[in-house]
């Protein structure tokens, strides 16, 4: 029986679409590939999520590689990306219903140390019972230590948890430690997947 719903954040609670971030900032098309590669496709971005680099350090290193005309927008994309990421439609309401029906609500996310600065702005965040953030654990999904940390820290049973993530490899990590899981592809499909598992909505 499923008693706990474990959520990823980017691509599940918030829309993760860097191309859309650039559109919102009205970045010239010729500059977009540079920013996508040097920011979101960079080693530094991953080092943030593992807690080995701050956003300020990432910004400094990225600026050393990109034209000066892009430094201002790079600051926005690195230090304030959440301002350009929309809430995933319908997810806050779904989480509210799950909480009202007695389910434990948990977050297991690859995210930087700055997570706490914007977490409260994410619709539905008030319903979560606990969080495990990669930067604080110094490891990333799909390392099994991330999932085991969640289970051990909050005394959860793997067989009572279902994990949803937009990355198949991260779902595979949950399955490897005995949790159920599925790849998130939108709120409506998420509801169907949860109902298939006997989750009351």
Dihedral over Cα of 111, 144, 43, 29: its sign: negative
pLDDT at 151: 98
Question: According to the model, what pLDDT value does residue 12 have?
Answer: 98
- Mention every residue, 6+ apart, whose C-beta is less than 8 A from residue 23: none
Contact 49, 135 (CB under 8 A): yes
On whether the CB atoms of residues 53 and 47 are closer than 8 A, the answer is yes
- Between CA 110 and CA 142 the distance in angstroms is 9
Mean pLDDT, contiguous 10-residue spans, the chain (201 residues): 97 96 95 97 97 97 97 97 95 98 98 95 96 98 98 98 98 98 98 98 93
- Distant-in-sequence, close-in-space partners of 78: CB < 8 Å, separation ≥ 6: 39, 55, 58, 59, 62
Where in 28-139 does DSSP place strands (E)? 104-109, 130-133
Q: Note the pTM of the prediction, 2 decimals.
A: 0.95
| pLDDT recorded at residue 78 | 97
Q: Which class is domain 4-15+86-196?
A: alpha beta
């Amino acid at each position: 029986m499923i008693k706990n719903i474990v959520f990823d954040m980017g691509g599940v609670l918030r829309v993760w679409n860097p191309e859309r971030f650039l559109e919102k900032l009205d970045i010239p098309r010729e500059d977009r590939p540079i920013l996508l590669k040097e920011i979101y496709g960079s080693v530094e971005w991953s080092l943030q999520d593992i807690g080995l680099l701050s956003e300020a350090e990432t910004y400094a290193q990225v600026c050393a590689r990109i034209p000066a005309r892009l430094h201002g927008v790079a600051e926005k994309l690195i230090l304030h990306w959440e301002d350009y990421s929309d809430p995933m439609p319908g997810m806050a309401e779904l989480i509210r219903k799950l909480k009202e029906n007695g389910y434990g609500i948990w977050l297991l996310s690859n995210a930087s140390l700055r997570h706490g600065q914007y977490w409260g702005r994410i619709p539905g965040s008030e319903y979560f019972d606990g969080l495990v953030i990669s930067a604080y654990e110094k490891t990333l999904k799909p390392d099994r230590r991330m999932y085991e940390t969640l289970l051990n820290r909050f005394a959860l049973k793997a067989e009572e948890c279902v994990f949803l993530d937009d990355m198949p490899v991260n779902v595979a990590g949950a399955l490897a430690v005995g949790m159920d899981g599925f790849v998130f592809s939108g709120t409506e499909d998420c509801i169907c997947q949860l109902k298939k598992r006997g989750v009351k909505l």
